[in-house]
Chain A
Amino acid sequence: MSRQYETVIGLEVHVELATKTKIFCGCSTEFGGEPNTHTCPVCTGMPGSLPVLNRQVVEYALAVGLAANCQINQYCKFDRKNYFYPDNPQNYQISQLYLPICHDGWVEIDTASGKKKIGIHEIHMEEDAGKLIHDEWEDCSLVDYNRSGVPLIEIVSEPDMRNADEVMAYLEKLRLMIQYLGASDCKLQEGSMRADVNLSVREAGTSRLGTRTEMKNLNSFKAIARAIEGERARQIELLEDGKKVIQETRRWDDNKESSYAMRSKEDAQDYRYFPDPDLLPVVISDQWIQEIKSRQPEMQPEKMARYQKEFQIPEYDAGILTSTIHMARLFEKTTALCGKPKEVSNWLMVETMRLLKEHEQTPEDLSFSPENLARLIALVDEGAINRTVAKTVFEQIFAQDVDPEKYVEEKGLGMVSDQGALRKAVEDVIAANPQSVEDYRKGKEKAMGYLVGQTMRAMKGKADPGMVNKIVKELLTK
Chain B
Amino acid sequence: MSISEMTALELGRRIRSGDVTVLEAVQEALDQIKKKEPDIHAYVTVDEEGALKRAAKVQAMIERGDLKGPLAGVPAAVKDNLCTKDLLTTCGSNILYNFVPTYTAEAVQNLEKAGAVILGKTNMDEFAMGSTTETSAFGVTKNPWNTDHVPGGSSGGSCAAVAAGECFYALGSDTGGSIRQPSSFCGVTGIKPTYGTVSRYGLIAYGSSLDQVGPVAKDVSDCAAVLETIASYDKKDSTSIPRKDLDFTGALVDDVKGMKIGIPRDYFGEGLDGQVREAVMRAAGILKDRGAVVEEFDLSLVEYAIPAYYVIASAEASSNLSRFDGVKYGLRAKEYEGLHQMYKKSRSEGFGPEVKRRIMLGSFVLSSGYYDAYYLKALRTKALIKQAFDKAFADYDVILGPAAPTTAPKLGESLKDPLKMYLGDIYTVSVNLAGLPAMTVPCGQDQAGLPIGLQLIGDCFQEKKIIRAAYTFEQTFTRREER
User: Do the two chains touch directly in the complex (Cβ atoms below 8 Å apart)?
Assistant: yes
Q: Which of the residues B91, B96, B236 comes within 8 Å of A50, measured between beta carbons?
A: B236
- Chain B residues, Cβ within 8 Å of A51: 238
Contact of B319 with A89 in the complex, beta carbons under 8 Å: no
B319 touches A45 (CB 8 A): no
Contact mask for chain B residues 104-139; partner A; CB cutoff 8 A; 1 contact, 0 none: 010000000000000000000000000000000000
Q: B343 to nearest A CB, angstroms? A: 6
Check if B201 sits within 8 Å of A50, measured CB to CB.
yes
Q: Mark B322-356, 1 if CB is under 8 A from A, else 0.
A: 11110111000000000110010000000000000
Among A79-87, A179-187, A355-363, the stretch in contact with B: A79-87
State which of B203-211, B302-310, B417-425, B451-459 sits at the interface with chain A.
B203-211
Known pairs A41-B103, A46-B101, A50-B200; A274 contacts B237 (CB<8 A): no
CB-CB < 8 A to A84: which residues of B?
322, 325, 340, 343
Residues of A within 8 A of B237 (CB): 50, 52
| CB neighbors of A among B418-434 (8 A) | none
A residues near B103, Cβ cutoff 8 Å: 41, 46
CB under 8 Å from chain B, chain A span 73-122: 80, 82, 84, 86, 89-92
* B366 neighbours in A (Cβ, 8 Å): 82, 272-274
Chain B residue nearest to A278 (CB atoms) is B208
- Asked whether A80 lies within 8 Å of B319 as measured between CB atoms, the reply is yes
Residue of A86, A92, A279 touching B319 (CB-CB under 8 A):
A92
Nearest-neighbour CB distance to chain A for B70, whole angstroms, equals 27
Q: Which single member of A46, A53, A89 contacts B102 (CB below 8 Å)?
A: A46
A279 / chain B contacts, CB cutoff of 8 Å: 238
Would you mind naming 26 contact pairs between A and B with Cβ atoms under 8 Å apart? A47-B99, A47-B204, A48-B202, A48-B203, A48-B204, A50-B201, A50-B238, A52-B236, A80-B319, A82-B318, A82-B319, A86-B325, A86-B339, A91-B323, A92-B319, A266-B340, A270-B367, A272-B371, A273-B366, A273-B371, A274-B316, A274-B366, A277-B207, A277-B209, A278-B208, A279-B238
- Is B239's CB within 8 Å of the partner chain A? yes
Complex alpha-carbon distance, A80 and B329, angstroms: 22
Q: How far is the CA of A82 from the CA of B325 in the complex (A)?
A: 13
Bound Cα distance A44, B323 (Å): 9
Q: Nearest chain A CB to B326's CB is how many angstroms away?
A: 10
- Which of B323, B367, B375 is in CB contact (< 8 Å) with A47? B323
B340 to chain A, nearest CB (A): 4
Q: Are A48 and B105 in contact (CB under 8 A)?
A: yes
A92/B238 in contact, CB under 8 A: no
- Nearest CB in chain B: distance from A274 CB, A: 6
Contact among A46, A47, A53, A143 for B238, CB-based, below 8 A: A53
Residues of A32-62 at the interface with B, using a CB-CB cut-off of 8 Å, are 41, 44-53
Would you give the 0/1 interface string for B53-91, flagging 1 where the beta carbon is closer than 8 Å to chain A?
000000000000000000000000000001100000101
Bound CA–CA A280/B209 (angstroms) = 11
Does more than half of chain A's interface fall in helix, strand or loop, or is it mixed?
A: loop
The verdict on B447 contacting chain A, using a C-beta distance below 8 Å, is: no
Q: Counting CB contacts under 8 A, is B235 at the interface? A: yes
Please report the C-alpha to C-alpha distance between residue A277 and residue B91 in the assembled complex, in whole angstroms.
20
Alpha-carbon gap, A50 to B203, bound state (A):
9
Asked if A44 meets B368 with Cβ closer than 8 Å, knowing A50-B201, A91-B323, A277-B316, the reply is no
Q: Which residues of the other chain, B, contact A53 by a CB distance below 8 angstroms?
A: 238
In the complex, chain A residues whose CB is within 8 Å of the CB of B239: 277-278, 280
B160 CB to closest chain A CB (Å) equals 23
Report, nearest first, the 7 A-B pairs whose CB atoms are least far apart.
A272-B366, A91-B322, A277-B209, A277-B208, A48-B202, A266-B340, A47-B204
Shortest Cβ distance from residue A246 to the other chain B in the assembled complex, whole angstroms: 18
- Which residues of chain A are within 8 angstroms of B371 by Cβ–Cβ distance? 272-274
**Chain A contacts with B in 273-287, Cβ cutoff 8 A:** 273-274, 277-280
CB distance from B265 to the nearest CB of A (A): 32
Closest to B369 in A: A270
* B340 proximity list for chain A (CB < 8 A): 84, 266
* Alpha-carbon separation in the docked complex, A89 to B101 (Å): 16
Docked-complex contact A47 and B101, CB < 8 angstroms? yes
Partner of A89 from B204, B209, B323, B367 at Cβ < 8 Å = B323
Check B363 for interface membership: any CB of A closer than 8 A. Answer: yes
CA distance A371 to B103 in the complex (A): 48
Q: Are A143 and B327 in contact (CB under 8 A)?
A: yes
Closest residue of A by beta carbon distance from B99:
A47
Cβ B322 vs Cβ A92 within 8 A: yes
Chain A hits for B322, CB < 8 A: 82, 84, 90-92
Q: In the complex, what distance in Å separates the CA atom of A48 from the CA atom of B239?
A: 14
Assembled-state Cα–Cα distance A86/B315 (Å):
22
B126 CB to nearest chain A CB (Å) = 13
Distance between B314 CB and nearest chain A CB, rounded to angstroms = 12
Per-residue A-contact encoding for B35-61, CB less than 8 Å = 1, 0 else: 000000000000000000000000000
A46 to B236, CA, bound (A): 14
Not counting A50-B200, A91-B323, A272-B363, a sample of 19 additional A-B residue pairs whose C-beta atoms are within 8 angstroms of each other reads A45-B323, A45-B328, A47-B205, A47-B323, A48-B203, A48-B204, A49-B201, A84-B340, A86-B325, A89-B323, A90-B323, A266-B340, A270-B368, A272-B318, A272-B319, A272-B368, A277-B208, A277-B316, A278-B208
Are the CB atoms of A47 and B83 closer together than 8 Å? yes
Smallest CB-CB separation from A270: which chain B residue? B368
Q: How far apart are the CA atoms of A50 and B103 in the complex, in Å?
A: 13
Task: Tell me the smallest distance from the CB of B195 to a CB of chain A, in Å.
Answer: 10
CA A272 to CA B204, docked complex, whole Å: 21
Closest A residue to B368 by CB, please name it: A270
Considering the complex, which residues of chain A in the window 16-39 have a beta carbon less than 8 Å from any beta carbon of chain B? none
The winner among B89, B235, B367 for most chain A CB atoms within 10 A is B367
